[in-house]
């Protein structure tokens, strides 16, 4: 009885892990065809207001799905030799490190192939995939940030200096009004 319950629960988990890719595919269609535009100005606004989904989470889902689509297409193009043997990422944890290479299909395919060959019969973990991505020369798994808090603060200080010079004696008055 315990073994049957385990099997039942594992089936639920397996189905739910695949839901990530189904949701991503639906979001990509909505975004690419701008199906949200009747009620929302942007796709990000649609995701936030309709699904209570942050922009970050939306990107994680759509980027992960695009990675899987790219790997699937790459595998189909070479299907006669099928480099992955039909094995594609099964869950979000496997996909997330690969998003670093989403715009580089050959490196992406190479990293996934490396991850699979590192565990021929075993479980492909996030760490295995992350190491394979690093081996492809893509350090880290997150895109570099364009701005840092320090740069933003420095820019703000510079703007304040300019305002003080332009406003002269009136600067203190306006500073008090906005604080």
Is the distance from CB of 83 to CB of 114 less than 8 angstroms? no
Rounded Cα distance between 138 and 146, Å, is 17
Position 14 scores a pLDDT of 75
Encode 32-54: b = buried (16+ Cβ within 10 Å), e = exposed. Answer: eeeebeeebeebbebbbeeeebe
Give the burial class of 23: count Cβ atoms within 10 A of its Cβ; 0-12 exposed, 13-18 middle, 19 or more buried: middle
Pick the closest to residue 123 from 97, 81, 93, 100 (CA basis). Answer: 93
Compare 11 and 76 and report the one with higher pLDDT.
11
Rounded Cα distance between 134 and 2, Å, is 41
Structure confidence by residue, pLDDT tens digits, 28-86: 999 999 999 999 999 999 999 999 999 999 999 999 999 998 888 876 655 545 566 67
Structure confidence by residue, pLDDT tens digits, 82-118: 566 678 888 888 999 999 998 888 899 899 989 988 8
Position 45 scores a pLDDT of 93
Position 147 scores a pLDDT of 47
Rounded to the nearest integer, the mean pLDDT of the chain is 81
Rounded Cα distance between 125 and 38, Å, is 41
Distance of CA 104 to CAs 110, 118, 130, 142, 143, Å? 10, 21, 16, 15, 14
Sorted by sequence, the CB contacts under 8 Å of residue 143 that are 6+ apart come out as 100
Rounded Cα distance between 88 and 20, Å, is 14
Structure confidence by residue, pLDDT tens digits, 117-135: 888 677 889 999 999 999 9
Position 141 scores a pLDDT of 46
């Amino acid at each position: 009885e315990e073994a049957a319950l385990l099997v039942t629960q594992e089936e639920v988990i397996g189905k739910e892990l695949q839901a990530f890719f189904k949701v991503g595919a639906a979001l990509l269609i909505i975004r690419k065809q701008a199906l949200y535009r009747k009620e929302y100005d942007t796709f990000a606004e649609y995701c936030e207001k309709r699904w209570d989904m942050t922009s970050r989470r939306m990107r994680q889902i759509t980027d992960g799905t695009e990675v899987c689509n790219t790997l699937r297409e790459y595998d189909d193009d070479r299907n006669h030799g099928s480099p992955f043997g039909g094995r594609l990422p099964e869950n979000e944890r496997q996909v997330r490190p690969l998003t670093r290479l989403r715009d580089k299909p050959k490196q992406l395919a190479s990293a996934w192939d490396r991850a699979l060959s590192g565990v021929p019969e075993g479980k492909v973990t996030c760490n295995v995939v992350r190491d394979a991505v690093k081996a492809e020369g893509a350090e880290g798994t997150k895109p570099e940030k364009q701005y840092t808090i320090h740069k933003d603060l420095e820019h703000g200080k510079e703007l304040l200096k300019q305002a003080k010079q332009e406003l002269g004696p009136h600067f203190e008055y306006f500073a008090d009004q906005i604080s």
